[in-house]
Each structure stands twice: as C-alpha cells, then as structure tokens.
Structure 1
Amino acid sequence: MTDIEHPGTFHGLPVFTLPPPGEGGPDPAALPRADSVAWRLDCTWEGPAFPEIWQYFLDTVDPGGVHALLIGPWWPDDYSSFAPVAELIAKDAGRFPALRALFLADVTGEECEVSWLEMSDVTGLIEAFPRLGELVVRGGGDPVPEEEKLQLRPLRHQALRSLRFESGGLPGHVVRAVGACELPALERLELWFGAAWYGGDATVEDMRPVLSGAGFPRLRHLGLQNSEIQDEIAAAVASAPVVAQLESLSLAMGTLSDTGALALLEGQPLTHLTSLDLHHHYLTDPVMSRIREMCAREGVHVDLDAADYWDPEDDEPRYVAVSE
C-alpha cells in the first residue's frame, strides 16, 4: 500500500502548520510572512474546534497575502463532515485575493483512513475562488453516510490549471462531473479511482469526455490511476485522442497487468511523452523489457517499480495502492 503523508511543499511553497491558539501560542511577529509559506490548519486532539482555528488564522495571519492553504483534520474528537468547513472558507473567500492553491483534507492514514473521510460537495468552495490555480481533494469512499460523501457538480472555472482527486473509492458521478466541467486552463488532471469495496465505481465510459481531449484543450499531464480496472483504462488510453496532446501520462498505482501494457504498446505512439508512470504494476519481465526498450529508444522516462509483496508465481489477487 502507498503511504499517504503530509506534503513538505505545496504550490511551490514550504508547508507551515499554524501552531494552535491558547496559552503559550506563537508570537504573530515571529510567524512567517503570509506569502512565504503554504499555510496548513488542523485541529489537535481535544483542542479547539475548526471555527475557532479559522478565526485565529484570520486574526493572526494577513489573509490578503496567503497564496496556498491546506486543511488538515478538521475535527477535535469524533470524525465529522467537511461541509461546515467548506461553507466557512467559502464565506470568507473575499479576504483571500491572492489565494491560488487549496488542499482539502490533507489527512494521513494515522489521522483518518482516506475512505473514511466525511467529505461534502466541494463545488461551491471551488466557485468561491475564481482565481484558484491548483486544487487537491483527498477523500471519497463508501463507509460514510450518503450525505457526507464527496460530491462535485459540473462547473466552469477559468483559472484552474491543476486538479487532483486522491481517493480510495472515487464515485463515478464525480468522474462524470469532472468530464462535464469547463476548465479551459487545465494543464494537469489526476484521478485516483480506488476500489469498488470503498465506492470506486467509475467505469471507462465515465472517463470518455476526458479521454476525448475535447474538454481540456491545454491538458499536458493525465493521471488515470489507482484503479482495479487499470487494464481497461490502458486499453482505452491506447486509442484515446487526448494522448496526442500530453507530455506525461500516469497509469500507476493500480492493477495493470500484461494485458493492459500490451494494449498500450500496440496502440498509438507514446514516443512524444517525456514521462510514463506505471509504478505499482503487475507486469512480467518480458513485457517490462519491451516497455523499457521503447522508452529508452525514444528518451521517455518510465517508472516501472512493481507493487510491493507481489510474486508473479503466486495466484494472489491484485490490489490498488490506496483503498481504505
């Protein structure tokens, strides 16, 4: 399994976690400049609730200078829905004219398993920041109640250049909504589909608008990964029009076998790519050799690190890198 960790940098800035308020709290004068770091907010166990953390952030840091913001665990005790957090941030969006990057649910497995995060509809929050350039959303899974699952409605956003959904069970309706969005500036798109057991029910048909290339004319990196149907995705990518406009492609983290890899090799040329990421795969040595030879011949960087704990001689089920 892939360990999900807190990023050290985000949007090109070092991540700085705001120390909690209270007795012995930080001297505001000793904090970094608002524009010099990516600010991370979280609730410590049995500490202040998120609304108090949020107000403390607004009072302590100049929101007008903040470029990047990460939201960590938003519950001080029991897990709770992200909806009130999204509403609170959206309400104060006007105070963040320089905000260009948002990371929703920067939460590790030790804090909460990715598929147990109680998310919400994130559409309104995206719309609240029309200049947002980068968005990462972590979470989405089946164990949580229906009203606390990840939701997205089709939207138009002029500025968004990078969009990533990290999930152990990405719902098909979210994938369809992404394909129906109008994102003329989008350059990077990454979708982690996850496992059916955790609500990852997206199909190749759900991905067709993305694969067509028509909706995102500036797309240069595409990641369709962490999927139990990675072979089907690879076969679809092998003839997908979007590939011609890409500079990099990732089909990593899933259950890719020789079937999907051979479809890629026998499909349209991939020689224009600068990188091909297939890590966490289930390929045999002969097929890996063919991929390496093709990439070496054309100068394509390839990642072929295999899935952990997998032996091609064993009849064990294949698994995705991130599920629960």
Structure 2
Amino acid sequence: MNKRFNIDWDNELTQEQLINLILTDEDLPKLRSLTIGNWGDCWEDETCQPIIDMIVENAPRFAHLESLFIGDMESEDCEISWIKQGDYSRLYAALPNLKELIIKGASDLRLGAIHHEKLEHLEIISGGIPSNVLAELQNAQLPALKTLKLFLGVEEYGFDGSLDNVMVLELSCGTLTDSGAEALLEHKDRIAHLETLDLHHHYLTPEMQEKLKAALPIPLNLSEALEPDDYDGDIYMNAMYTE
C-alpha cells in the first residue's frame, strides 16, 4: 500500500501539521511505500529535515517501509534545483526493510555514511548533483543494490564534477559501434588526459579502430572486436553480460 502526503493550495497545511497528519494516519502501519511531496516553502529555507527527523525519531512506526520517495513535486510546486533537501545519514538504520529510496532535489543534500543491507534501488533526481554527494555515494556499502540512477545535471544547477579527475575510462563489455566512437572523437580533447581508454568487447569496424588509434594519443584497449549478427536483415548485437 502506497500513500502520498503533500501540502497544496487546498489543504494549506504547515510542515508541522503535515508531520502530524502522517503520524496519525490510520493506514501508517499498513504502508509499504511512503511518498512525500511538497513540505512547505521548500524553495526558501524550509528543508525536509523535519520529515527525515520524524521518521528517525519514530523508527519503530516506519521500520516496515520498503519504499520512500522524498521530494515528489512538480515545477508548479517548486523547481527541482530550488528544492531544499536534508541530511539522510541517520535514516538508513531507521528503515531496515527499505528496498527503494528516491530523493528529488540535491540542494543541501547530505547522504552521510551510506550502509544498508536490503536497499536495491537508489535514485537521485536533480538539476545538478554536487561532488560531495558523489563522494558519499562512492563509499556506499549497499550489498543488495541493483539500480543506481543519478541525474547528474549541469554546472548551472549544482553539478561540479569534472572529467579531468577521471584517469581510466571503461566503455567496455557493451555494444559500442562506429557512431559511438564518432562521439568520442568529437570530444577527444576532453579525454586526451586519460591514462587508459578501455573499449574491449565492441562492434567497431577495423577502419574506426585505426581512426581511434591515430586520433587519440592514449593507451587504448580495443580487444574482443565483434561483428553484428544479421538475421534476414535484422541486426543483433549483444553486451557481454545480459541474461
């Protein structure tokens, strides 16, 4: 059972009243999925921290949740880059059965030390994810994770990462074709600093392989070149790992 709680023009609740509404809802013990929409003046200084703290401070009442979405709002409520998020570092221990966590907005977002045994899907929707959040994700301990979905965004709205920090780039084990390689060549100045570009298990033509070698002054792994299968005019290519 899923339930969504939200402040809108019809109910005109305060954040405190919204929290009370959640805590007193008769369906709370039966919920498997909880969605939090607009929690107030989220484009100013009203973050979702009181919502997160409510869950942590009442952990036994939320411990059964399997899915949590905080920040489910459209641009009419608040532009995504304006959403003031919060600190999730204490949330993981409070929700031991959580399988899905979706966070919308990355302004003031803090993930902390991420450790959870059952989380399978983690998604951050934003106009720009800052590097400190990416660093926290890099150190996450999520043994059950199946899907990590990140909307990295753009510099104008918070993303401050840089390809300059990447030394080894792997685009291997997939179905890379000449059209994909052309995109690399179009931006070759962005990857000229790499120590290694690994493209093994690919569908590049011999001509394109030679073109890459001539244009990129970096070590290339072009092993395991494959040819597409042609079945009555239908072309098939397979990634290394599928079924």
- 2:237 aligned with 1:298: yes
**Contact 2:43/2:84 (<8 A) preserved:** no
The structural deviation recorded for 1:86 is 1.3
The structural deviation recorded for 1:169 is 1.1
Q: Which residue of 1 aligns with 2:216?
A: none
Q: How many residues align?
A: 196
Aligned partner of residue 117 in structure 2, secondary structure? coil
Q: Which runs of 5+ in 1 are unaligned?
A: 1-35, 142-148, 209-234, 245-255, 272-292, 301-324
Q: Which residue of 2 aligns with 1:175?
A: 134
Q: Which runs of 5+ in 2 are unaligned?
A: 175-180, 189-197, 204-227
1:88 pairs, out of 44, 50, 54, with: 54
The structural deviation recorded for 1:65 is 1.4
2-structure distance, mates of 1:261, 1:185: 38
**Contact 1:47/1:76 (<8 A) preserved:** no
Aligned partner of residue 69 in structure 1, secondary structure? strand
The structural deviation recorded for 1:204 is 4.6
2-structure distance, mates of 1:187, 1:270: 24
- 2:64 aligned with 1:98: yes
CA pair 268-115 structure 1, distance change in 2 beyond 3 A: same
The structural deviation recorded for 1:156 is 1.6
Q: Which residue of 1 aligns with 2:218?
A: none
Q: Which residue of 1 aligns with 2:152?
A: 193
- 2:3 aligned with 1:39: yes
1-structure distance, mates of 2:92, 2:120: 13
Q: Which residue of 2 aligns with 1:62?
A: 27
Amino acid at match of 2:92: I
CA pair 172-77 structure 1, distance change in 2 beyond 3 A: closer
Q: Which residue of 2 aligns with 1:228?
A: none
2-structure distance, mates of 1:78, 1:203: 27
CA pair 201-76 structure 1, distance change in 2 beyond 3 A: closer
Q: Which residue of 2 aligns with 1:129?
A: 95
Q: Which residue of 2 aligns with 1:112?
A: 78
Which is worse superposed, 91-100 or 165-174? 91-100
1:44-88 per-position Cα deviation (integer Å, ceiling 9, x unaligned): 237111332232233232322110011100006974111122111
Q: Which residue of 2 aligns with 1:269?
A: 201
Q: Which one has a bigger Cα radius of gyration?
A: 2
Q: CA RMSD in A?
A: 3.4
**Contact 2:66/2:98 (<8 A) preserved:** yes
CA pair 170-58 structure 1, distance change in 2 beyond 3 A: same
TM-score, length of structure 2 as denominator length:
0.69
- 2:169 aligned with 1:236: yes
Aligned partner of residue 169 in structure 2, secondary structure? helix
2-structure distance, mates of 1:97, 1:204: 39
TM-score, length of structure 1 as denominator length:
0.53
2-structure distance, mates of 1:201, 1:107: 24
CA pair 77-175 structure 1, distance change in 2 beyond 3 A: closer
Aligned partner of residue 152 in structure 2, secondary structure? strand
